[in-house]
Structure 1
Amino acid sequence: MKTASIAHRVVDFLRRWPPFQYFDDDELFSLVSAGRVVFHERDELVFMQGRQRKPYVYVIQQGAVRLEEQSEDGVDQLRDVRGEGDLLGIGRYLGFGEHVYTARTETDVILYALPAEAFWETVKRHARASRFLATYFSVAILPPALEMREERSEELRLGRRPVDWMSRPVEQPSRPLTCLPDTAARDVARLLAERDAAAAVVIDGQGAPRGVVTPRTLSDEVASGRQPPDTPAQALMRPVCAVAAPGLEAGDYLTRMLDQQTEHLVLTANGRLDGPFAGVITRRDLTRVEGAAPLALIEDMARAPRISELAALRVQAEGVLAAGLTDPDATRWLAPMAGAFNAAVLRRVVMLVEGALADQGLASPNLDHCWVFFGSAARNELFTRHDLDCGLIYDDPDPGHARGARAYFLELGRRVSAALAACGFVTSAKAISAGHPSACRSVGEWEVAFADWIHQPIESCVYRATSRFDLRPVHGDCRLVERLERHIHGEEDRNPRFVPLLLEDSMANLPPLTFFRGLVVDDEGGYREVLDLLRATLQPVVDIARALALDSGRQAPTTLDRLLVLQPEDDESSLLIEETAAAFRNALYHRARTGLTTGTDGSRVDPAKLTRLEQNLLKSGFRTVLRLMEYTGRRYGLTPRR
C-alpha cells in the first residue's frame, strides 16, 4: 500500500478521537507523516517502568494495553487499561524523563507512534485539545505550558443558562437608607418613597444595624391601621439576624438570602452583627447583575396555600437548577440553591400540616422543636427529589407528658412525610423519615442515641447511622440542634477510637480503576456495566471529610467546606485536597445531571453514554479518591481495602 494512502487512513482514524479532532488537517498530516505504525503481539511490553522514554507519543489504534506499577516489594499493580483512541507515553509533559508505569499489551495491538515534540506544540495551539490532554493528569498538577482558557465543553452541558454571573461583584448602593430607632413610621415611609429604596435599616448610636423596615411592613402595620403613623421604627423593624461583608460575589449574597428567606441582606464593614453598617443588598441589586428567579420561587413557596401548588413550584425549581447546570463548577452555586429550595418546601409543608392538625383539634404539646435535614440534604448536596432525609428534635417533656408528646410529634412527622411525598419526593428503604420513631425523638433521646453510636459503634451498627452526624436545622428552635452538636463533640472527645473506626469503614471499598469500551474496570481488573458514582467517588470523600472534621472539632456544613477547613501539613497534601474538591464537584455534577434528566437519584451512570472527555475526568477522580484514602491511612495507621 502506498505511503500516502496509509497516512490518509491514519488521519481518518485520528479525526475520530480527541484531542486530534481539534487539530487542523495540515497539522494532522504533518504529525502522521513524521510518525510510524507499530505492532505488538499479546503480552508484549510497549515500554517499561523506569526506562528512558523514546521520542514518541502513542495512540492505540487497535487492542488493549494495561498500565502496571511495580511496588517496592516487586508486585505489579494494575493502574489503568487503555483501548482504541487512548494515548500512551504522555508523562513526559510533566517532566518525567522515565516511564512511570509499564505498558503491557493485553491483546494484539496496533499503535500509531507520533513525534512527541510536534504533538505537544500542536496541542498547545488549541484550547480544547489542551483541556482534553489535561484530563490525563491530576487536576492540581498540570503541564504549565498548556493553554487552559475558560471554555465550556458541549459534552459537559445540561443547562443552557450559565451561572457565571454569580461570580461577579455586586455594586454597593451609593446612599444606603438608614434611620434611628425612634424615627416615626411616617418619616420612614417618606424616606423610602423619596429614595425609591427597598428597605430602611435601623441603626443604633454606634452605627450598628439593629433592624430593617420595608414598604411591605409599613403597608401591613401602618396603612392597615394596626399601628399609628407615629409608631417608632424600632417597633416595626424586623431584627437583623444575619449580615454579610461588602465586596462579595453575587452568588454569596444570593445563597445567603435564600438561606435566610429574605429579599435583602444587611452589610457591615466587618461582616459581623456588631460591625458598623455598610449597606444593603436587595433582590433588585441582584436582578441588575443577572436575575433573581430563585428568590421569587422561595417567596412563592413560603406562601403556597396548598401542597399541590408547592409541588408545582418544586418542579419549577428543578428547572432553574437544570438550566444552570452547565459544568461542574456550577455546582458551587447550584448546590446551596438546591438546599434552599428543599428547605423552603419543608418549612411550608410543616406550616400547612401543623395548621391542619390544629383545625382537627389535635393539640400541640407546646414544646420547642426543630426540623432538621440529615445526610446529603444537610450538606447541600441533594439536587433531585430522592431521599430527602429529615427528622424532628423536640424539647424534653415532663415525664408525665412524654407519651402524649411523642404521639403528637410522630403523627406530625408521618403527615409531613406524606406531604413531602405528595410534593414528589421519593423515599427509599434507607431514607430517614420524620414519621419513623428513629428520626423523631426528644433532644435527650437523641443525645442517648448519639452516645450509643459513638461509644458502642460496632454493637449499635454506626455504619447505618453515619449520615445522622450530618444535621442542619431547617425550621424551628435551632438551640436544640446546637445543644445536640455540643453533645456529639463532647462524646467524640471522650472516645478517641471513634474517628479511626469511622475512617476504617470509609476505606472498605476501593474506587474503580478506569473505563474500557463502555465498561467500568475495578481495582482487580473486573468489569461492570454501570458506574455507581456514590460508591466510586462521592461516598468515600463524604465519609472521610466527615470523620476528619469531627476529629478536628471544626464546624463545617458541606463536604467541600470540611475539606477546605483542614490544615494540610505540606504542599503535597494541599494539592491533594484541591484535587479532591475538583473530583467531588465533577462527580456531584454528573449525579445531578443524570438525576435531573432521568428522574432517578442520579447515582448510577451508564459509562457507554459518557464522552471520552467525561470518562477521563471521572477516571482522574478515581485516582484522587484512592490517593485520599492512602493519605488518610498514613495519618491514622489504616489500609484501604476491598
Structure 2
Amino acid sequence: MSNVIVNRVAEFLKRFPPFSFLGDGDLTRVAQSVAVHYLEQGEILFRQGEAARPHFFILREGIIHLVETSQKGEEIREVCDEGDVFGVLALLGKRPYLLTSKVIENSLIYAIPVAVFEKILEENSRVALFFAAGFAAGQVVVRQDLSQGQKARSELKKASGDHPLLIFSDQSAVNFSEKVLNCPPETSIQNAAKMMAEAQVSSIVICDSQDFPLGILTDKDLRSRVLASEISPQNPVSQVMTRPVITRKKQDGFSNLYLTMIRHRLHHLVLTEDGTDQSPVCGIISDHDVFLSMGNSPAVLIHGLMNTQEVGEMRKIRDRAEQMLCYYLENEVSMEFVASVMTEINDVIIRQALEISKTQLKAQYPEMNSTRFCFLSMGSEGREEQLLRTDLDNAILYEDVAEGLQSKATEYFLKLGEGVVEVLLACGFDPCPGKIMASNPEWVQPLSVWKNYFSDWILHPSPEALMKVSIFFDFRFVAGSNALAAELSDHIYQEIGKKQIFLNFLAQNAMKNPPPLGFFRDFVVEKSGENRDQFDIKLRAMLPLTDLARLLVLSHQIVGINNTFQRFEKLAELESSNSELYSQAGKAYEILMRMRALEGLQNKNNGRYINPKSLGKLQRQLLKNAFAPISELQEIVNIRFQLDYFRR
C-alpha cells in the first residue's frame, strides 16, 4: 500500500477508539496491514453461521445492516455507521458469525487482520479494555457510545484523550476468591453438587493429589451435561468436568485475565501459582468478580442491570451510576453524551422492573400476555434529561380490548404499573408529588382514553390542562409496543392541526414562568418557606427553556424530538434568521443541567434550589449568561403568537 494511502487510513483510524489509543508506530503498522474493500448496495460481506474470517472490519463510509435470521424472518440488530467496528468476534472467539452483514448503501470498509491486532491487545490495556467493555455490554458492534442516537455518537468522534466510556475503579486490582472449592476426580457428581450447594458457589475445581487442576465443573455443566444428558449423578465428576482447564497467574493484569475469559467464553477462570495447570490452584475469578473490578463503566453498569432482577443489586448499580455521573460532570464530558448514557441506564432499570412485574402477574392473568401495551416516560425522563433520581413521571398505554376483557385489562395493567413504580422507588427514584405515575389508575388507560385526554386538553386548554400538557407532551416510548405510542403522537398532531389557537394558549402559559433575575440583575430567590433565599433553577431557568422549545417545535409540527437541546438544534436548522439564538439557548440549557446535577450530587438532593451566595464569581456569571436567551425567546414568542392581542 502506498504511503499516501497508508497515511489516509491512519488519519481516519486515529479519529475513532480503540485506534485513537494507539501510538504512532502501532497505528502505522495497522494502517499498512489494512485491506480496503468497496462493496456495492445489496452485497453481503459475511453471512450468519459462516466461519469467522481472519479480519475484523471498520466502516469507512456507507451504511451496513447486521441482520439476524430466525424462524420469524429477518430482524435488523444493528445499523453500522462511520467508524463502527464489527465482525469483532473473529478477533477474540474465532467462532461463526452471529449475524449477516448487508450493504444498504455503497460502502467502503477497512479489513484489519486479527494477527496484527492480537499483539496490540496483549500489550495495550486501553485497547483491550475498550473491547472488553463492549463485550461486557453484549455489543455485536463495538462503537463509541451506548445510545443509538447519532448526536451522542458524533460528539464522541470529536473527543480526544481518555474515552469517557471506560472508567475503571482500579485496572490493576482484580477481585477474586482465594478459597477455592475443590475435589478429587473420583468424587461422584452428586457429592460435588452437594459441596457446591453447601459452599454456595457456582463452580468446583477438580484437582489431583498435589492440588494441580485437572478440570472444572460449573452450575451450567450440571444442567447441560448431567441433567439434560440424563447421566447418573453417581458417576465420577471426571466424566463431566471441562478439561483441560484454562489457567492464569493471579498477578496477571486485569485486561489479560478478562480477555482470556472472553476469548475462551469462560464464566470462571482458575488461577494457579505459576499460571499453568502444573502448579497448585491459588484462586478463581468469576465474571461477577470481573464486573466488580471494572468499576463504573456504563457498559458494565448496563450489563449488570440487564443480568439481574434483584432489586437490591439494581439499586447498588444505580448508585454506582451516580458516581460515574459525577466523574463525567467534573470532567466536562459532552452533556449530550452524559444524558444519553444516564437515560439508557434509567431505561434498562424500567425494562427490568417491567419484566419483574410481568413475571409476577403472568400466571394470574394469562389472557393479558398477548395484549399490546406501551410504557411511557414523561417529564425530564421523557426528554432524556433525568440525570439525578428526581420525581418519576410515567404512564401505561394499552390497546383497546374487547368489552368483556376491559375489567381484567384495567386490573392487570394497574398492577403491572404498581409493580414497576415499586421497583423504581426501591432503586432510589422519588415519587411524583402530583401522582403522575403508572401506579395511578388515571394514567393507566387504553389508547382510546389517552386520545380523549389529549383531545380534551387541546380543545379546552384550561390552566390545569396546560399544566398537564407540559408533562404529557414530552412522553417517550421505553418498552412494549412503539406502534401504540406512534399512533397517539399522530393523533396529537392531528388535533393541534384542527385547533391552531391551542398554540397561542400554550405560548401564553410558557410566558408565565417568573424571571430569573431581578431589576438589579440579582438572582430572584424564594421569599419564604424551607427554601428561603435559595434560587429555584428549575422553575426560573430550566422550565422556561423547556416550555419555549416545546412550543416552537410543536408550531413547526416536528415529531419525535423531545430533548430540549435537540429541539433548539432543530429550530436553528429550520429558522436561519434565529439560528444563533437557538444555538445559544441549547448551550444554556446544557449549562443549567450540568449545574443542577452537580448541586444535587454535592448536597445529596435533587439540585433544584441553589444558594447564590455559595457560587463563585465565575459560576455566578456563567449562570447569568445562561439566562440571556430566555428573554429574547420570549420576545419572539410574544410577537409570533400575538400574545399582546391574545390577552385582550
* TM-score in terms of structure 1 length: 0.59
Show the counterpart of 1:604. Answer: 609
Are 1:560 and 2:416 counterparts? no
1:520 equivalent in alignment to 2:523: yes
Residue 325 of structure 1 aligns to a residue whose secondary structure is: helix
Match of 1:246 in 2: 82
Structure 1 residues 625, 483: CA separation in 2 closer, same or farther (over 3 Å shift)? same
Instruction: Say whether residues 1:410 and 2:246 are aligned partners.
Output: no
More divergent stretch after superposition (238-247 vs 417-426) = 238-247
Unpaired runs of 5+ residues, structure 1, are 1-166, 201-205, 213-232, 251-263
Given that 2:66 and 2:102 are in contact with CA atoms closer than 8 Å, whether structure 1 keeps it comes out as no
2:65 maps to 1:209: yes
Looking at structure 1, the residues matched to 164 and 36 of structure 2 have their Cα atoms a distance apart, in angstroms, of: 21
Superimposed CA distance per residue, residues 366-418 of structure 1 (whole angstroms, 9 cap, x where no aligned partner): 31111111111011111111113111111111122111101110011111111
Contact map agreement 1:335 1:380 (CA 8 A) in 2: yes
In 1, Cα distance between the equivalents of 2:340 and 2:629?
24
Q: CA–CA distance in 2 between the matches of 1:297 and 1:532?
A: 32
For 1:601 and 1:182, the matched residues in 2 are separated by: 49
Q: Distance in 2 between matches of 1:384 and 1:569?
A: 32
Structure 1 CA distance for aligned equivalents of residues 163 and 489 of structure 2 = 38
1:139-182 residue CA offsets vs partner (Å, 9 max, x unmatched): xxxxxxxxxxxxxxxxxxxxxxxxxxxx9644789569999599
- Of 45, 52, 61, 1:191 maps to 52
Name the CA shift for 1:168/1:444 in 2 (closer, same or farther; >3 Å): farther
SS at match of 1:520: coil
Query: What is the alpha-carbon distance in structure 1 between the residues aligned to residue 542 and residue 365 of structure 2?
Result: 46
Matches within 5 A, 1:197-346: 209=65, 211-212=67-68, 239-247=75-83, 274-276=104-106, 283=134, 285-286=142-143, 289=163, 291-292=165-166, 293-326=297-330, 330-346=334-350
User: Which residue of the partner structure matches residue 472 of structure 2?
Assistant: 468
Determine the structure 2 residue equivalent to 1:434: 438
Task: Please state whether the residue corresponding to 2:594 is helix, strand or coil.
Answer: helix
Aligned CA distance change for structure 1 residues 275 and 472 (closer, same or farther; 3 Å): farther
Cα distance, 1:429–1:522 mapped onto 2, change above 3 Å: closer
Q: Deviations over 1:487-516 (max 9, x none)?
A: 000001100111111111010134222698
Distance 1:267 1:343, change over 3 A: farther
Distance 1:618 1:372 in 2: 32
Partner Cα distance (2:512, 2:385) in 1: 23
Alignment map for 1:345-424 (pairs within 5 Å): 345-358=349-362, 364=368, 366-424=370-428
**Are the structure 2 counterparts of residues 289 and 349 from structure 1 closer, same or farther at C-alpha, using a change threshold of 3 Å?**
same
Give 1:461 shift.
2.5
Question: Counterparts of 2:502 and 2:524 in 1: how far apart (Å)?
Answer: 33
2:591 pairs with 1:586 = yes
Is contact 1:370–1:394 with CA below 8 Å preserved after alignment?
Answer: yes
Instruction: Give me the whole-angstrom Cα distance separating, in 2, the residues matched to 1:236 and 1:176.
Output: 35
CA contact (8 A) 1:511 1:522 kept: no
Using the size of structure 2 for normalisation, the TM-score is 0.58
State the Cα deviation string for residues 113-158 of structure 1 (Å, max 9, x = none): xxxxxxxxxxxxxxxxxxxxxxxxxxxxxxxxxxxxxxxxxxxxxx
Verify the 8 A CA contact 2:537 2:610 in the aligned structure 1: yes
Deviations 1:416-439 (A, max 9, x none): 111111111111313521011222
Between the two structures, name the one with larger relative contact order (CA 8 Å, sep ≥ 6).
Answer: 1
2:473 pairs with 1:637: no
Deviations 1:592-618 (A, max 9, x none): 111222222211111111111111111
> Does 551-560 or 173-182 show the bigger shift?
173-182
What is the rounded CA distance, in whole Å, between the counterparts of 1:315 and 1:338 in structure 2? 12
TM superposition shift of 1:523: 13
2:322 aligned counterpart, secondary structure? helix
Partner secondary structure for residue 105 of structure 2:
coil
Tell me the secondary structure at the aligned position of residue 240 of structure 1: strand
Structure 1 residues 279 and 574, CA gap change in structure 2 (3 angstroms): same
Map of 1:449 onto structure 2: 453
- Do the aligned residues in 2 keep the contact of 1:311 with 1:422 (CA within 8 Å)? yes
Deviation, 1:308, is 1.1
Amino acid at match of 1:633: N
CA deviations 1:537-590 (Å, max 9, x no partner) are 110110111111111011212111111112578766222112211211111111
Alignment-derived partner of residue 615 in structure 1: 620
Rounded to whole Å, the distance in 2 between the matches of 1:540 and 1:603 is 14
What CA distance in whole angstroms lies between the structure 1 residues aligned with 2:457 and 2:636? 26
Partner of 2:194: none
Give SS of 1:209's match.
strand
**1:183, CA displacement in angstroms?**
5.2
Alpha-carbon distance in structure 1 between the residues aligned to 2:354 and 2:433 = 23
Partner SS state of residue 500, structure 1: helix
Letter in 2 for 1:632: V
CA shift digits 1:338-384 (9 cap, x unpaired): 11111010000100111122256675353111111111101111111
Deviation at 1:449, TM superposition (A): 0.5
| 8 Å CA contact retained: 2:526, 2:535 | no
* Matched-pair contact (CA < 8 Å) for 1:515–1:619: no
Would the aligned equivalents of 1:373 and 1:390 in 2 still touch at CA under 8 Å? yes
C-alpha displacement of 1:633 = 1.0
Give me the whole-angstrom Cα distance separating, in 1, the residues matched to 2:605 and 2:102.
43
Conservation of the 8 A alpha-carbon contact between 2:351 and 2:479: yes
Q: How far apart are the structure 1 equivalents of 2:99 and 2:343?
A: 19
Aligned runs of 1:135-174 on 2, under 5 Å? 169-170=16-17
Cα contact 1:243–1:266 (8 A) shared by 2: no
Equivalent residue letter for 2:76? V
Distance 1:329 1:430, change over 3 A: farther
% identical aligned pairs: 24
Q: What CA distance in whole angstroms lies between the structure 1 residues aligned with 2:638 and 2:72? A: 57
**Using the alignment, how far apart are the partners of 1:539 and 1:483 within structure 2?**
27
Q: Give deviations 1:448-469, integer Å, cap 9, x for gaps.
A: 1000110011176322332100
CA contact (8 A) 1:371 1:474 kept: yes
Tell me, in whole angstroms, the C-alpha distance in 1 between the residues paired with 2:609 and 2:304: 33
The aligned counterpart of 1:495 is: 499
Task: Please give the alpha-carbon distance, in whole angstroms, between the structure 1 residues aligned to 2:604 and 2:473.
Answer: 28
Q: Do the aligned partners of residues 386 and 548 (structure 1) sit closer, same or farther apart at CA in structure 2, a change above 3 Å counting? A: same
Partner of residue 630, structure 2: 625
Paired residues for 1:21-100 under 5 Å: none
Q: Which amino acid aligns with 2:343?
A: G
The offset of 1:301, in angstroms, is 0.8
State yes or no: 1:538 paired with 2:542: yes
Q: 1:183 to 1:621 in 2, by over 3 A?
A: closer
Are the aligned partners of 1:370 and 1:480 in contact in 2 as well (CA < 8 Å)?
Answer: yes
Q: In structure 2, what is the equivalent of residue 575 of structure 1? A: 580
1:209–1:277 Cα contact (<8 Å) kept? no
